[in-house]
Amino acid sequence: MTRRALADGILFTDQYQLTMSQIYFRMGLHEKEAQFEHYFRRYPDYGSHQAGFCIAAGMDSLLDWMDSAHVTDADIEALRSQVDGTGSRIFDEDFLSWLRSNGSFDCLSIRSMPEGRIVHANAPFTIVTGPLAMAQILETSLLNHLNFETLIATKAARVSQASRGRPVLEFGLRRSAGRGANAAARGALVGGATASSNVGMSHVMGVQPKGTHAHSMVQVFMSLGEGELGAFRAYADVYPDDCLLLVDTIDTLASGIPNAITVFDELSAKGHEPVGIRLDSGDLAYLAIQAAAQLNEAGYPDTTIVLSSSLDELVIFQILSQIDQEAPRYGIDPVRLIGRMVMGVGSKLATSAGQPYLDGVYKLMALRDSGSDSWNPAIKVSETPAKTPNPGDKDVVRIYDERGRSTADVMVEKGQSLDDGDVVELRHPIQPHSRRTLLRSEISEVEPLLVDVTVGGKRVDGSPGLAEISQRRVRDIDRLDPGVRRLVNPHRYHVSLTPGLWDLKQQLVAKAKASIT
């Protein structure tokens, strides 16, 4: 692993962050104070279904990385070896020497949406302030950590919603993106998965990992002539109080469930309570109903039925809808059946299938001389208007309506809030004629969203644990309009600018365009 260590430290970044930093160094700009803003432009669109909100995640992982990513001699040696097309070195000794002494992120301050909270497209998610070169080098890793965990937390929140609050187990390690499986497990737990099969990451997160057995264990016993029943008995013998059996190695209804019931009877006779079964192939809606019928008949009306096999939020939504419709025909109460179900969700959760990346960006918003009070806003003009950032030194507030539902996230000038008047005017960030006015009386709360995470490199947000993060998520989802929560074709949540920030943006764009000669 030694030679691979290079890939996990400060060189876990894009080459151009370093080439730009050397330019800043050469021009004496490297310690100028910069403000970068991170946000994403589009909610995940899975093709047949779309997200109307995201769940912020990844900050704790980013901070862990930042703590560990100090420049080492091996890093410098690697950079020293880089040459351009003519064989000349890319990085000069004076820059490398500066980097060796200053290459840490302790100089940066970060404000961000707390993990677990709902975050919206185009609203500031994270703001990084500090010396230009190090704030620039941070870009790639910040985006990597926050984009991916937010993507997975969002998917997990959707899967949990489709599952009607039943437990969701994250199973995706084997098909995730290499070591990104750990970020996937963390993101899933932040977004609402109840547990993960990933042993190591579960321990890191302080959650009991979950898992029972695979087909291979049944095959071992079959190959030894002891059959499925022998395998189930061995399982029950070792885990009498945690006996959850995978019933589809041979034939779910003809072999798996009858054998499971035999073993459950043997366990019950010894005073143990059987946990349940797992269905991993076939028509899961039909099999769940039939499994419930067999288990009920045998006197196990409450044992768990775990479903797995290519599940995602839409598949789960469909299975549960079908159970609602079909179960009564077999004399099964659908509410009671769904109430004993657990969802095992693997590949499609851990990779956010349909939309495997979030398009988060990190844009320079303002610059100032170190020690100066006032920021000089920066702009980038894109031929695609949606790609033109909203410049300036900003905060973001969430407006709740008279029902207590969130109705808009509004970018405001730093340290300010909304206008005090009876009417609050909101501007669409792109469309000049799209305005919205809210009466002050329609507003029940105006909540500042960004919190200080690190100040001068020191963590100040108290490193919240999973329980606190989950509370935030539950509370935010509760306060979201059901239209925005909808799994398919959700209503568009408003993200707006104050009139002052809108005017600033127009002025800067006009100035940049005027510079074209």
**H/E stretch holding 98:** helix 93-102
* Least CB distance to its own copies at residue 266 (A): 16
**H/E stretch holding 507:** helix 499-514
* Least CB distance to its own copies at residue 330 (A): 19
State both tokens at 458.
Answer: 């020191």
Q: Based on CB atoms, which residue is closest to its own copies, 236 or 495?
A: 236
Q: Is the dihedral of CA 120, 61, 345, 261 positive or negative?
A: negative
* Least CB distance to its own copies at residue 196 (A): 8
Q: Based on CB atoms, which residue is closest to its own copies, 22 or 407?
A: 22
Q: Based on CB atoms, which residue is closest to its own copies, 382 or 471?
A: 382
Decide: 342 and 169 in contact? Cβ < 8 Å: yes
Question: How far is CA 232 from each of CA 192, 238, 255, 258, 430, rounded to the nearest angstrom?
Answer: 31, 10, 11, 11, 61
- Angle, alpha carbons 423-426-430 (nearest 5°): 160
* Least CB distance to its own copies at residue 497 (A): 19
Three-state secondary structure string covering 338-359: HCCEEEEECHHHHCCCCCCCCC
Q: Based on CB atoms, which residue is closest to its own copies, 241 or 402?
A: 241
State both tokens at 307.
Answer: 């479903």
How are beta strands 394-401 and 443-448 bridged, if at all? antiparallel
Q: Based on CB atoms, which residue is closest to its own copies, 183 or 277?
A: 183
Going by C-alpha positions, the residue among 349, 417, 341 that lies closest to residue 164 is 341
Q: Based on CB atoms, which residue is closest to its own copies, 171 or 300?
A: 171
Q: Based on CB atoms, which residue is closest to its own copies, 178 or 415?
A: 178
Q: Based on CB atoms, which residue is closest to its own copies, 13 or 390?
A: 13
Decide: 156 and 167 in contact? Cβ < 8 Å: no
Q: Based on CB atoms, which residue is closest to its own copies, 48 or 325?
A: 48
Total residues found in the chain within this entry: 517
* Least CB distance to its own copies at residue 303 (A): 12
* Least CB distance to its own copies at residue 234 (A): 5
What Rg value do the Cα atoms of the chain yield, rounded? Answer: 27
* Least CB distance to its own copies at residue 35 (A): 11
* Least CB distance to its own copies at residue 378 (A): 4
Which residues, at least 6 apart from 486, have a Cβ–Cβ distance to it below 8 Å?
A: 52
* Least CB distance to its own copies at residue 227 (A): 6
Would you call 187 helix, strand, or coil by DSSP? helix
CA distance 161 to 237: 36
Q: How many alpha carbons lie under 13 Å from residue 133 in its C-beta half-sphere?
A: 21
